Amino acid sequence: MLATLALLLATQDVIKPSRVETITPMRNASFNKGGTAKKRVQGGNPRTVGSVLLFDGSMDGNRQVDPQVVVGGGYVLHGTNSGIVIYDKKGNYVDGVPQREFNDGIDPKMYYDPHNRFFCFDLWVYWDKEKVKPVNISASETADPRGAWNTYPVPAPNGVDGGGIGFSRTWVGYSFPGGDERNFVLKAADVKKGKPAKVWHFKGSIGHPVNTLDPLSDLIFVDLTDKDIVISRVGEDDKGEPVVVSQTRKPHGFKYFGWPPASPMKGTDKRTASGDRNPKNLQLIGGYIYFSQAVNISGRAGVQFNKFALDGTRVQSGWLSHPTNSYIETTMAANKAGDVLVGFQETGPEMSISARAALFKKSDTSWLSPKIFRLAEGIAPTEGGAWGDYSGTVVDGDNLSDFWTIQSYANDKGRGNTIIAKIPPKG
């Protein structure tokens, strides 16, 4: 399938960037700025339950933690709206800093690039006095996140909350709502080296960038409309400049596509937000795109998870739902063998928000027989309303086999704790 990708460009119209600018990075010689950065100490406490390694992530009770986790180079990198933390792969705390050490921001998304062996994450600032509202793209110089980092503040004065990051062997891509230009790309080699980097902007939107684990130079973007899936691809022209060719637009054929309703919790008549039907953490592996969504299933929030071919054909979908409870804040990952893990949270009239994951083996060709992992139990209801927009579920960047997920759950004050789990594909 990968060998046929070049043929898809033959009859397509090329879309070029609307403008380009050069951003000079701000360099930190080490993650903690040589020990001068404010320290953020959160999580750790590793323990094993069956085959699953569990350890705490951020436990400081931020209501919208927006948790993320990525794994590579022998380390686990974790982000929330309160900061960035490093653990080793046994779950021991290594180091942590607040966002301001990376030029500040919220709404983190992150990845580990196994092709070029570096970490990358974004933070978005909307409160700067200059109203530049930069998207701060931060990249490590090596696979060791304790080392040097470079932060590229890309101006996005018309941006709004809800952006997404992705990568290929050649590109770093970003998307965000708001304004006339909703996507930009940088070259991965430049950001890893900490060089002044060109940032190419595109008019309109070409969709959400995909975490491209297959060894492709081109970067895939996915856009979902009410009826269709649009898959676009960024490649290089003969001058090394990015160009976009819209490969395909096909009906997605989703069984469910309504926005998830707010969800009930035990001990209160207030309801919690359920997440976003627009997927986060899209992934390309083995020639297929995987993602999950929070959607309306029979009047409650449930999870729809999907596998698409690069020509836009929906290969498979699965669903997780409950007669009385709601499943919210979902993300999904697949490994090189074709197994998948769906991370989510569960809440309902007789329970508080709790952390969950569902493992589907490749042999389960209809995605009907998951192994459910109850990762952490919620204790108290939240104050209702916003809880966060997403969670984080990834495949291990060192072996492309083991799964990792981070999920939020409600503590005894109804605030957001997080749990990180390493789940082997054998279950």
Domain boundaries, the chain: 18-38+98-249, 44-84+252-427
Mean pLDDT of 340-363: 97
Average pLDDT over residues 243-256: 91
Closest CA to 414 of 41, 33, 62: 62
**Which pTM value belongs to this model?**
0.95
Q: What is the pLDDT of residues 29-62, one digit of tens each?
A: 999 999 999 999 999 999 999 999 999 999 997 7
User: Residue 13 has what pLDDT?
Assistant: 67
Kindly give, in sequence order, each residue whose CB lies less than 8 Å from that of residue 236, ignoring residues fewer than 6 positions away: 170, 217, 242, 243
Q: Where are the alpha helices (DSSP H) in 320-426?
A: none
- The values of phi and psi at residue 52, to 5°, are -100, 130
Residues 328-339: tens digit of each pLDDT: 999 999 999 999
**Pick from 318, 315, 270, 312: nearest CA to 295:** 318
Residue 272: partners with Cβ closer than 8 Å, 6 or more residues away: 262, 263, 265, 328, 347, 353, 382, 384, 385, 387
**pLDDT at residue 66, as a whole number:** 82
- Number of neighbours of residue 100 by Cβ within 10 angstroms: 12
State the sign of the Cα–Cα–Cα–Cα dihedral 420, 126, 225, 10. Answer: negative
How far is Cα of residue 187 from the mean position of the Cα atoms in its chain?
20
Q: Tokens for 335?
A: 């490994």
Asked whether the predicted pLDDT for residue 11 surpasses 70, the reply is: no
* Nearest CA-CA partner of 341 in 402, 289, 296, 295: 402
User: 7 CB contacts (<8 Å, ≥6 apart)?
Assistant: none
Digit-coded pLDDT (tens) for 353-393: 999 999 999 999 999 999 999 999 999 999 999 898 889 99
